[in-house]
Structure 1
Amino acid sequence: MRGGEPVRDVAHLGHVELLTPAFEESLWFFTEVLGMEEVGRRGESAYLRAFGDYELSTLKLTAADRAGPGHIAWRATSRAALERRVAALEESGLGEGWVEGDLGHGPAYRFADPDGHVMELYFETEKYRPPEGLRPALKNQPQKFTARGVGVRRIDHVNLRALDIDANSAFMRERLGFRLTEEVRLDDGRQGAAWMNVTQKSYDIAYGGIDAAGMGGRLHHVAYALDSREYVLRAADIFAEEGVFIEAGPAKHAVQQTFFLYVYEPGGNRVEMISDIKLLLDPDPETVTWSQAEREKGQAWRTIMPESFFTYATPLPEEAGRRG
């Protein structure tokens, strides 16, 4: 904040690039199992969208020799907002400079958070115009609902592992204007997890835990939104039928109260299906702080997550040195 006023320069999560060592299998998962549409190819990457995304794509799937995040991109609210945030990022010392636009968006400013997660900020974007076969009956919907597979509606959030969550959440708040909505404070006073928003959804990014492997720049999961709990339950049946590994859920989170289901896509990246997304209309909300003891009780219905939920992230330790 400057002068006590909130910064509203970042509009929302634009897209996530996922690296996969099993490109064709991952592509099958996102298109046939999740029901996303492929809208283009460039080099070793496929560009995908959910039926409710207004931009051309929200997922860039790139063939690599390891799983993990390529980059995470945020859309600014205007060209002037982009310039203001670039100035703030350059002052931080973590800016990397401008890169050419990718399929569907214009020039982007690349930077990293303190943990090394590569991010981009852009404004110019291509809004999706469906071909004849995907035109919706209702003109206020970006694309026809194809009812293929799970039928994810839109990208929702990204969750990252970090070595120092205090430093990373402070960076996102101070340099990009994110607001801290919920957090976990460990017994030693450190921030054990942080959920932050720029939209009226209660979170758009989370640093979901301290990296148990002592690494940096790893992905916990990317999440896609579904319309209701019934769609999440149906997704569980679809995953079981298709042989997709279900790690946890369906169940309800205590933090943020979302209804969740976690799976691993064939390349190894964790993907979450969620519903019951909470809106935060209060313009100056107090941060909800959970103690370590409170979080150890489990999820909202006392669901205890598997050990892998706290230890597994991509890239895997043995793959971390690879840069596919």
Structure 2
Amino acid sequence: MSTDLDTVEKELQIKVASVREELQKLLIDRDSIRRELDKIREELNNRRDRLKKLKEELLNVRAELNHMYNELNNTKNYLKELRERFRVNIAQLKSLSTEIKKFTSTTYGMSIDEIREEIEKLEWILVTTPNLDLEEEKKIVDKISQLEKRLRDALMYQRNMSNVYSRYEELSDILDNIRKELKTKSEEANIIRERIAQLKELRNKLKQDITTLVNDIVELKKKREELRNKIMDIKKAINIKSEEYRNLIKELNRLKELREQSKKDIVMSRKREEIKNKIERGERITLYELYIAFSEGEEKKTKSR
């Protein structure tokens, strides 16, 4: 019986070692997957943080882009106003130019000073010439009257020419300022367009980066779920193997107890044999030895139960 127990015990020990090895491998696999899960969680957190920053950056870019579009529209509208003002002032300048040409084509034959001098001469003749013929006097008076009219016309012409030239110069200055402002605003519009192009490029890049990150997060979540399922499977396997291991250990302990009991039974059997021999030889025995000698039947009854 002892040999049979030893054989069974060895088989159980081999099986226990095998189950323990499988259990250890499962625990190692579980810990390895847990570490991998921790890495994935960290990667997910990093990508979520990055995604949040990219979304905030995209919002800022969109806000700036809208602002730039508004600025461009305002600049375009202002350029339109400037061009209209330029057109109106050019038309006025052309009108003044025509008026100047008309004035310059008008001639009075004499300058204002010459007319005044001629009037003074004629008036002096009237004053200083005695016994002037009435007909001659009338001619001089008529001549003076004509010269005074010419003087008035010349003075009016001079004033008009002065006003026209003044207005012409004023319009020329206004047009120069408008040209400068048109150039400045056109440059501003080009700068805004360049910035809009940069922002659109940045917006598209951010969108691509966000899409890539979202896809990465989806893949990481999928991988995380797969690892979680693996851990669940491993946990189930660990529970099964742990239960199997505990049962094997229990069985092994039971066998050890049986073997110990078997050893005790052998010792007790030998002891009884010695006591029986002593009784047969007529030697004195103790009460305990007497108990041992006659306890075999009771033990058999107990075991049979």
TM-score, length basis structure 1: 0.12
Q: Which has the higher strand share?
A: 1
Which of 1 and 2 has greater Rg?
A: 2
Which has the larger share of helix?
Answer: 2
